[in-house]
Amino acid sequence: MSGAESFVPTPMMLSAAARKRLQTLIAEEGKPELKLRVYVTGGGCSGFQYGFDFADTVGEDDTVIEFGEVALVVDELSYQYLVGSTVDYEEGLAGARFLVQNPNATTTCGCGASFMV
């Protein structure tokens, strides 16, 4: 018998604030099929950075995570860096933004927009 164990990763989560803002934005666009695409790209001051966009199409390799009336879409490459993360939304003196609370990040920049694993 092998010593391998099965592992089921914690899916991504969407905070109540992010859910509410996403519902508002989708209603303003008038396209209920829109989803929030969350992705990771190289760059930023810590090595990787988060990106957000609306998706009206879903690719073959995308993962769709539904939260009632709204959903996140994550490409296969980004998902490995984002698994277990929570997408949140905040409004403050610096403006309003979606952000990622990522337990996989070993280092983040001061503004939280970039990270290293």
- Does residue 75 have a known ligand-binding role? no
Q: Is 45 flagged in the annotation as binding?
A: yes
**Residue 111 assigned as binding residue:** yes
3-state SS, one letter per residue, for the chain: CCCCCCCCCCCCEECHHHHHHHHHHHHHHCCCCCEEEEEEEECCCCCEEEEEEEECCCCCCCEEEEECCEEEEECHHHHHHHCCCEEEEEEECCEEEEEEECCCCCEECCCCCEEEC
Known binding residues for iron-sulfur cluster are: 45, 109, 111
Give binding residues as ranges: 45, 109, 111
